[in-house]
């Protein structure tokens, strides 16, 4: 075998500014950048092994006033030497920076990182400049960067800004606090005492923050910090205070993590050691997890929440509805939503996880979000899904044991009869109520109120798109009371118009070339900016549409998926493409690949972008609609109505189980295409009428309740009939649309069912 010989270059050629800007993209906001400064301060305390009472971090906010610019700062009482600045802070992309000075390299545990986040925030999010002002061992340093630059340096120069003598640390702290309109004496007593006795400190601050208007934006930023994954450990291990315009925020109390109350009886986490070998669900190969190390065994901890974590107000529970991935070396290295797990049970929404596994460390991304896809990460995620499913099944089994068999049988008979009544009722009523000629996707006529926006929210349906396709972004303007209001004049911004840009007239995103770009909206006066969404435009080599053949009953819908092979050989799905139908009189296809059956017949559907076309079109056959359980939620096919904890969905071995704070009638994701609806037997009134001895399943109260739930389902079908599957409306819009038809449906349904409600007679 030939031996390869070569002479490597002495230096690796790299465009430094370009590389730095690329790795800094995740920190292009105060919401993602400021937690990096807090994390760095917390790591400094842990390196010093400071007692908890001394671990104080102060976030400082000062709005522009009387010629003094707006500023944001982060202060701790540790301090850095010039050696630490030049060896650790100065170096970009140094994963050792946070732990190099620690006596025990793993002392800081949850607070490791890549050596990028804090510097990225300083370079990108301040118009004027950002500084690090620090004192340690009676020597001070000022080290900073001009806004828009990436090269740091001593201020004003190396001779004056490095290792200057500081005789009184408290006086130097006072000097740094003055631009923030506060003195040491103005601080809460416990903080001022620490500041006056400090032997060192570090304050990182920026002047003229971007996208900054003060006022409500500060409150919103503080709220976002409380639910940011990089703030979990600092808030647990340090006391973080906030000073706004010289005044203590929150009555001078430290910030605290939102509490997640566990389910009664399940206060302790369920722990499961991670096996040394797991199977990758994609390649089917066995991978080594490296679970057994010299430090600890890889472990999954599953925690419970007393309340549904998907619907917590203001993100108070959603922030933790995740799997956080940890290593001893780097701390929190990534996270993924519990909703991404392959788990159908509604109990998943009451769980969250921590996974510690050292071998995952190489798969962390710069922003520490979802781990890089690999055989190991796929295998671990699949194993976590299985453990969560097992835990959910225990809760479901406990719920099913609470219902007597006799009542189960009677309830099933009632539900079967009502299901037959519902089919006949819908056949007679629905055509007249919803109107046969209604346009698909017709918007509601409700007019939004005017107002002054305090928040702009944008979203896109896909984070990846092909070349030369169009995509419509969604935008909402929200006022200070949380109301959806009319838009004010605004414009769309794309960070890289060579990749994609928004057509201001059509309000469509058009993609041009492979790459990534950030997209946002802002008011014309630039005082209010939306959240930023990242769009990746990919170069596609091959498109395969699945399934290759489908049957669609008239008036129903079926989704087609596009599997894309990129120029790199990577296979992915979830790419926005252009979808084309061969015969629109037979079927129509939406921008997401949803096929609607219009008339009996055959047609084909193809997915394309500018440079690639699916190798073979999908064959679509539109057939006559069949009965209950066929078709989809928004079609004309009759839905199948089942009762949770009693009935099994087709193909499932156990009845579905829901929680008492979930909707009274609902669909799981897998029920949508099967056109199945559930009456939630765990809801409070269902439990009362069904289980209370004063009522019971044979009572008039239960029959009325059961009928009401069927009417709820019919009303929802009426409201969504013909609407485009991708279109979403707010609660007020649904209420407006419901008013015209709901009363008529209820009136006729009750007239039809009066003998059943009063006397339990089951005949049509």
Identify the bridge partners of residue 518 per DSSP, sorted by sequence position.
Answer: 534
Task: Say what the pLDDT of residue 366 is.
Answer: 65
Select from 478, 509, 537 the last residue of a domain.
537
More confident residue, 690 or 244: 244
- The answer, yes or no, to whether residue 103 has pLDDT greater than 80, is no
Q: Which two tokens stand for residue 84?
A: 């630490």
**pLDDT number for residue 432:** 46
Answer yes or no: do 213 and 329 share one domain: no
- Taking each helix axis from N to C end, the angle separating 731-739 and 742-759, rounded to the nearest 10 degrees, works out to 70
The token duo for 673 is 């295409």
pLDDT score of 426: 72
Q: Work out the pLDDT band at 137, boundaries 50, 70, 90.
A: very high
User: With bands split at pLDDT 50, 70 and 90, how would you rate the model's confidence at 634?
Assistant: very low
Nearest to residue 624, comparing CAs of 721, 551, 554, 550?
A: 554
Q: What is the mean pLDDT of residues 347-374?
A: 86
Say if 260 falls within a structural domain.
Answer: no
pTM summary value: 0.49
Tell whether 258 is covered by a domain. Answer: no
Does 491 reside within a domain?
yes
- Identify whether residues 374 and 393 lie together within a single domain: yes
pLDDT (0 to 100) of residue 472: 85
Residue 629 pLDDT: 44
Residue 429, pLDDT > 80, answer: no
- Across 434-455, average pLDDT: 55
Q: What is the mean pLDDT of residues 106-122?
A: 63
Cross-sheet strand order for the sheet of 508-511: 470-471, 508-511, 500-503
Question: Are residues 142 and 85 located together in one domain of the fold?
Answer: yes
Compute the average pLDDT of residues 651-675: 83
- Read off the pLDDT band of 419 (50, 70, 90): confident
What is the SS3 assignment for 126? strand
The domain that holds 598 is classified in CATH as: 2.60.40.10
Q: Residue 529 carries which DSSP code?
A: B
Q: Are residues 646 and 568 in the same domain?
A: no
* Per-residue pLDDT tens over the stretch 32-62: 889 889 988 988 888 888 888 889 999 999 9
Query: Would 764 be classed as within a structural domain?
Result: no
pLDDT band at 745 (very low <50, low <70, confident <90, very high): confident
The per-residue pLDDT for 4 is 81
Q: What's the rounded mean pLDDT across residues 194-218?
A: 87
Residue 536, pLDDT score: 94
Residues 579 and 725 in one domain: no
389 & 513 share domain: no
For residues 719 and 518, the model is more confident at 518
Residues 316, 465 share a domain: no
Question: Distance (Å, rounded) from C-alpha 368 to C-alpha 231?
Answer: 12
pLDDT value at residue 736: 44
Over its C-alpha atoms, the chain yields an Rg (Å, rounded) of 30
Chain segment 471-510, per-residue pLDDT in tens: 888 888 999 888 888 888 899 999 998 899 988 777 789 9
Q: Mean pLDDT across the stretch 644-669?
A: 86
pLDDT at 202: 95
Number of domains in the chain: 5
pLDDT band at 741 (very low <50, low <70, confident <90, very high): low
Q: Are residues 608 and 647 in the same domain?
A: no
High-pLDDT (> 70) share of the chain, %: 83
Domain termination residue (choose one: 559, 592, 623)? 623
Question: What's the pLDDT tens digit per position in 691-740?
Answer: 776 788 888 888 899 989 988 888 777 665 433 333 443 334 444 445 55
What is the span of the domain harbouring residue 275? 270-400
- C-alpha distances out from residue 221 to 227, 313, 622, Å: 10, 16, 51
Which letter does DSSP use for residue 179 in this model?
G
Last residue of a domain, one of 580, 603, 623: 623
User: 262 lies in a domain?
Assistant: no
What is the average pLDDT score of the chain?
82
Q: Is the pLDDT of residue 446 over 50?
A: no
291 and 353 inside one domain: yes
Edge-to-edge strands, sheet with 299-304? 270-273, 299-304, 351-356, 322-327, 331-337
Mean pLDDT of 348-361: 91
| 150 lies in some domain | yes
Q: What is the DSSP string of 268-308?
A: SPEEEEPPSEEE-TTT--EEE---B-SS-B-EEEEEE-SS-
The packing angle between helices 117-124 and 16-23, to 10°, is 100
Residue-wise pLDDT for 230-239, tens only, equals: 787 788 888 9
Structure tokens belonging to residue 322: 């995740």
């Amino acid at each position: 075998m030939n031996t390869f010989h070569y002479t490597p270059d002495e230096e690796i050629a790299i465009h430094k500014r370009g590389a730095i800007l690329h790795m800094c993209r995740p920190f292009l906001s105060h919401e993602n950048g400021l937690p990096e400064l807090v994390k760095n301060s917390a790591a400094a305390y842990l390196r010093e092994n400071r007692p908890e009472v001394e671990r104080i971090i102060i976030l400082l906010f000062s709005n522009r006033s009387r010629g003094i610019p707006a500023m944001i700062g982060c202060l701790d009482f540790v301090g850095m030497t010039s050696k630490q600045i030049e060896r650790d802070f100065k170096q970009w992309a140094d994963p050792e920076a946070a732990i190099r000075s620690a006596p025990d390299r793993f002392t800081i545990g949850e607070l490791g990182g890549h050596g990028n986040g804090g510097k990225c925030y300083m370079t990108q999010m301040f118009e004027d400049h950002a500084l690090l002002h620090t004192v340690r061992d009676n020597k001070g340093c000022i080290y900073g960067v001009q806004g828009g630059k990436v090269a740091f340096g001593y201020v004003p120069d190396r001779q004056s800004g490095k290792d200057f003598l500081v005789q009184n640390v408290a006086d130097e702290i006072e000097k740094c606090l003055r631009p923030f309109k506060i003195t040491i004496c103005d601080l809460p007593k416990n903080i001022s005492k620490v500041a006056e006795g400090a032997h060192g400190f570090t304050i990182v601050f920026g002047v003229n923050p971007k996208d900054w208007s003060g006022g409500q934006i500060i409150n919103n930023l503080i709220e976002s910090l409380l639910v940011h994954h990089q703030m979990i450990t600092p808030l647990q291990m340090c006391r973080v205070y906030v000073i706004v315009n010289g005044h203590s925020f929150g009555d001078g109390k430290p910030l605290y993590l939102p509490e997640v109350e566990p389910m009664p009886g399940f206060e302790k986490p369920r722990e499961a050691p991670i096996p040394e070998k797991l199977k990758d669900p994609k390649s089917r190969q066995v991978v080594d997890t490296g679970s057994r190390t010299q430090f600890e065994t890889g472990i999954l901890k599953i925690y419970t929440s007393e309340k549904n974590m998907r619907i917590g107000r203001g993100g108070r529970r959603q922030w933790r509805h995740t799997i956080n991935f940890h290593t001893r070396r780097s701390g929190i290295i990534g996270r993924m939503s519990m909703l991404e797990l392959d788990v159908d049970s509604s109990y998943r929404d009451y769980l969250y996880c921590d996974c510690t596994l050292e071998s995952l460390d190489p798969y962390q991304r710069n922003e520490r979000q979802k781990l890089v896809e690999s055989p190991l990460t796929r295998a671990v995620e699949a194993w976590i899904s299985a453990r969560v499913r097992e835990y959910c099944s225990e809760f479901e089994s406990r719920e099913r044991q609470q219902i007597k068999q006799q009542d189960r049988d009677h309830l099933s008979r009632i539900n079967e009869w009502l299901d037959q009544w519902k089919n006949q009722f819908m056949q007679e009523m629905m055509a007249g109520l919803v109107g046969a000629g209604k346009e698909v996707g017709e918007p509601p006529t409700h007019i939004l109120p005017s107002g002054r926006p305090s928040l702009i929210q944008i979203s896109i349906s896909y984070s990846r798109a092909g070349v030369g396709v169009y995509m419509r972004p969604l935008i909402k303007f929200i006022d200070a009371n949380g109301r959806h209001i009319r838009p004010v004049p605004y414009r769309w911004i794309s960070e890289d118009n060579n990749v994609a840009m928004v057509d201001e007239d059509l309000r469509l995103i058009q993609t041009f070339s492979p790459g990534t770009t950030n997209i946002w909206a802002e008011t014309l006066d630039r005082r209010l900016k939306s959240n930023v969404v990242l769009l990746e435009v990919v170069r596609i080599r091959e498109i395969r549409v699945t399934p290759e053949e489908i049957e669609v009953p008239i008036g129903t819908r079926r989704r087609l998926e596009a599997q894309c092979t990129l120029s790199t050989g990577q296979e992915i799905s979830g790419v926005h493409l252009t979808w084309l139908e061969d015969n629109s009189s037979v079927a129509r296809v939406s921008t997401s690949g949803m096929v609607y059956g219009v008339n009996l017949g055959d047609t084909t559907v193809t997915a394309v972008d500018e440079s690639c076309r699916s190798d073979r079109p999908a064959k679509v056959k539109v057939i006559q609609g069949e009965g209950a359980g066929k078709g989809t939620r928004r079609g004309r096919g009759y839905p199948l109505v089942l009762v949770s904890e009693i009935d099994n969905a087709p193909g499932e071995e156990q009845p579905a189980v829901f929680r008492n704070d979930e909707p009274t009638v609902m669909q799981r994701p897998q029920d949508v295409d099967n056109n199945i609806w559930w009456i939630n037997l765990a809801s409070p009134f269902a439990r009362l009428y069904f289980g209370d001895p004063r009522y019971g399943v044979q009572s008039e109260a239960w029959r009325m309740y059961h009928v009401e739930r069927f009417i709820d389902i019919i009303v929802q079908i009426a409201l969504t009939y013909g609407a485009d599957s991708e279109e979403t409306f707010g609660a007020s819009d649904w209420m407006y649309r419901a008013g015209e038809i709901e009363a008529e449906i209820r009136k006729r349904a009750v007239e039809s069912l009066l003998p059943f409600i009063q006397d339990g007679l089951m005949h049509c």
